[in-house]
Structure 1
Amino acid sequence: MTARRPGADGAPAGDPPGDRAVSVPVPAERRHTLTFLSWARGAAPVFLDTEVDMSAVVAHRRAAERAGRRCSTVACVLHAAGRVLARHPDANAAIRGRGRPRIARYPTVNAKVALDKRLNGQRVVLAALLTGVHRSSLEQIQDELEYWRRGDPDRMPEFAGLRKMQRMPWPLRSWANSSAVSSLRRRPRTMGTFALTSLAHRPVNGFHSFGGTTITLGVGQTTERPVVRDGVLGSAPVMQLNLAFDHRVIDGAHAADVLTEIKEALEGFTDPADGGAAARERPLPGKGAR
């Protein structure tokens, strides 16, 4: 319990009228977030992070920009992560149950991407599902991201179920959410097989979130930092990549393998569609930045 000094006149100090808290209901537009968080409490998330030299990704993005195409960091991370997780079916998996839990491993890699949107005027986090990212080209992934980025969740048919759920009372809303995610067979189509959140639009380096999947990636900003290559001091664009894993499904050593392989894929990034041209723009080790 905290203590507080009395007011100057010896009377208990109270809040001035203008400083009193105002209690309001949680906006209906955010109810789905509370429902998800209640469901996700059953997980056992553990957190890892690493730093990624983004020189190859930056070179690829610049080459795409010169060609008149948009290529975001998130698209590059999804492209790399999808291919890595396809090689790790134990991590591209989901779990259900407590007393007699069962794990499902999936042959396809679906990404659940967090979106910062406005729903009925209220700022909310929504999620977009990108299917088959392990076989999608970088351009296809970027096109999908643009569709979701530009869309209006007040009108998009993909969010009709969410809008309906928000009008439900709590018990019914919780039941609807559980029904959507309880089936391991349907889970890839409702939750994805891994999740990704990016706060790179702000000066945020590291953060850790859990998206309800075995693997959740957190993408921070890319900034120019000092690096040493072959004993030579230079600079390079560096990004902190964060990973949360559900310890019920995989262990730390396996999660570290996944994170390392995604890091390596980004540091040697090439999109087969460009024939490796962007990668050839990277500096040789010890040759400084970019």
Structure 2
Amino acid sequence: MSNEILHFPKQRKHTYHFLDHAKEFSPVYLSIDVDFYNIQKVRKNLVTEKKIKISYIAFIIKGISEVLRKYPKANSAVKGSLFPKIAFYEDIIAKFTLDKTIDNERVVLAGKVINSDHKSLEEIQEDLEYYKNSTFQEVDEFQPIQKLHSLPTWLGNMIYKKTVGDLKKRHTIQGTFTITSLGHRPIKHFYPITSATLCFGIGAIEEKTKVINNTIEIRPIMPICLTFDHRAIDGALAADILTGIKNQLENWGN
């Protein structure tokens, strides 16, 4: 096979613009293991009693959203410049990534759960299913991405940066936190690139030994990794948030 140099695929232009914008951020990485025993019980009961199947991502979005309500300083975004600014948002908006195909090109797209702290698990799951089961062309929220794909790369990049550079509107585009999962593969730790103050990478559940009341048990453990923008918050606060999420998820239903 001979070497080829081709034009950058238009289907991936939105990812190119996102990553170029993300260079502004100052990422720091943390991770924690979460025991999903109680959540597995709750999921099983929902299927048995209500015939409702809730994904792990819905539980995680709900758990993060409830914890984030307690830490308003982290529900924020920073714009860097000679005169940096920080915005604090009242609404909590979860952004989650999707593995999609556009014209035979595999790409990452993102959906949003608006006011995720106020929605039930079932409502969050409905939002997830809407994006999951719809094609790229069917989702109205993807129309701006279609526009970016049609523009010259240099122009699309300028428009993208100008749009997300507006702190008053950034949360409606980027969400106030992001969750991205590779848990469908045997990936343990996953530290995503972020363009938000908080971005969570979800790995696969693995059966591990755990000491509970002086007894060794086998428990389903999921790693949750956090990339946070150090310009907005410090490590101590990020650690408190991640610990709060662990406690929220592990004690679900108690």
Report if the CA contact (8 A) 2:194-2:228 is conserved.
no
SS in 2 for 1:205: coil
Q: Give the drift of 1:160.
A: 1.4
Amino acid at match of 1:40: A
Higher RCO, 1 vs 2 (CA within 8 Å, ≥6 residues apart): 2
Report if the CA contact (8 A) 1:120-1:154 is conserved.
no
Moved over 6 A (4+): none
2:3 and 2:206 map into 1 onto residues whose CA distance is 39
- CA offset digits 1:14-65 (Å, max 9, x no partner): xxxx4x4333322110011011101110100000000001111111111122
Corresponding position: 1:172 with 2:155: yes
Whichever of the two has the greater Rg, that structure is: 1
Corresponding position: 1:246 with 2:204: no
- CA offset digits 1:119-157 (Å, max 9, x no partner): 122110001111100111111001100101101003322
Report if the CA contact (8 A) 2:197-2:229 is conserved.
yes
Q: Give the drift of 1:179.
A: 2.2
Report if the CA contact (8 A) 1:214-1:245 is conserved.
yes
Q: Give the drift of 1:230.
A: 2.1
Gaps in structure 1 of 5+ consecutive residues: 1-17, 271-278, 280-290
Corresponding position: 1:48 with 2:30: yes
1:235 and 1:96 map into 2 onto residues whose CA distance is 45
SS in 1 for 2:203: strand
- Counterpart for residue 103 of structure 2: 120
Residue correspondences, number: 253
Choose from 7, 15, 28 the match for 1:33.
15
Gaps in structure 2 of 5+ consecutive residues: none
- CA offset digits 1:187-235 (Å, max 9, x no partner): 1111110011011111111110023100001111112111111221110
Name the TM-score, length of structure 2 as normaliser.
0.96
2:157 and 2:7 map into 1 onto residues whose CA distance is 18
- CA offset digits 1:66-107 (Å, max 9, x no partner): 231111110000000001111111111001132221111111
Q: Map residues 173-212 of structure 1 onto 2, 5 A cutoff.
A: 173-212=156-195
Choose from 40, 57, 61 the match for 1:74.
57
2:138 and 2:43 map into 1 onto residues whose CA distance is 31
- Counterpart for residue 98 of structure 1: 81
Choose from 124, 143, 163 the match for 1:160.
143
- Counterpart for residue 208 of structure 2: 225
Which is helix-richer, 1 or 2?
A: 2
